[in-house]
Structure 1
Amino acid sequence: MNIVLIFLAAIAAIIIWWLAGQRLTSKPWLETGSVQMPDHLGIERVPVPAVKIGLFVFLGVVGAVFSLAVSAYFMRAASADWWGMPVPRLLWVNTAALALSSAALQWAKREAQHGRMENLRPALVTGLALAVFFLVGQIQAWRELTAAGYVLADNPANSFFYMLTGLHGLHILGGLAVLAHTTVKAFAADVSPERLRLSVDLSAIYSHFMLAVWLVLFALFAGWANDFVDLCRTLIS
Structure 2
Amino acid sequence: MSVMMIFLAVIAAIILWWMAQHRLTSKPWLEVGPAPEAFRERQLSIEPARIGLGVFLAVVGSLFSLFISAYLMRVETPDLWSTPIPRLLWVNTTVLIVSSAAMQWAKTEAQRGRSEAVRTALLAALATAILFLTGQILAWRQLTQAGYVLAGNPANSFFYVITGMHGLHIVGGIVALGRTMTKAWSVPVSNRVRLRVDLCALYWHFMLFVWVVLFALFAGWANDFVDICRQLIS
Q: Give 1:3's aligned amino acid.
A: V
Structure 1's 101 and 231: CA in aligned 2 closer, same or farther, altered over 3 A?
A: same
Alignment partner of 2:150: what SS?
Answer: coil
Long gaps (5+) in structure 2: none
Distance 1:56 1:182 in 2: 18
Partner residue, 1:207: 204
Query: 1:77 aligned to 2:80?
Result: no
Choose which of 169, 172, 190 in structure 2 pairs with 1:171.
Answer: 169
Partner residue, 1:86: 84
Q: Give 1:140's aligned amino acid.
A: L
Partner residue, 1:49: 47
Structure 1's 105 and 78: CA in aligned 2 closer, same or farther, altered over 3 A?
A: same
Choose which of 219, 227, 231 in structure 2 pairs with 1:230.
Answer: 227
Long gaps (5+) in structure 1: 37-42
- TM normalised by structure 1 equals 0.87
Alignment partner of 2:143: what SS?
Answer: helix
Q: 8 Å contact 2:110–2:189 — kept in the other structure?
A: no
Structure 1's 146 and 236: CA in aligned 2 closer, same or farther, altered over 3 A?
A: same
Alignment partner of 2:156: what SS?
Answer: helix
Query: 1:100 aligned to 2:101?
Result: no
- TM normalised by structure 2 equals 0.88
Alignment partner of 2:78: what SS?
Answer: coil
Structure 1's 230 and 7: CA in aligned 2 closer, same or farther, altered over 3 A?
A: closer
CA displacement, residues 117-152 of structure 1 (integer Å, 9 cap, x when unaligned): 121111110011000000011011111100110000
Instruction: Give the number of equivalent residue pairs.
Output: 229
- Structure (1/2) with the larger helix percentage: 2
Deviation >6 Å, runs of 4+: none
Query: 1:183 aligned to 2:162?
Result: no
Partner residue, 2:155: 157
Structure 1's 23 and 71: CA in aligned 2 closer, same or farther, altered over 3 A?
A: closer
Choose which of 135, 138, 160 in structure 1 pairs with 2:136.
Answer: 138
Q: 8 Å contact 2:115–2:188 — kept in the other structure?
A: no
Cα RMSD over matched residues?
Answer: 2.6
Distance 1:95 1:105 in 2: 15
Q: Give 2:59's aligned amino acid.
A: V
Distance 1:54 1:68 in 2: 21
Alignment partner of 1:153: what SS?
Answer: coil
Alignment partner of 1:49: what SS?
Answer: helix
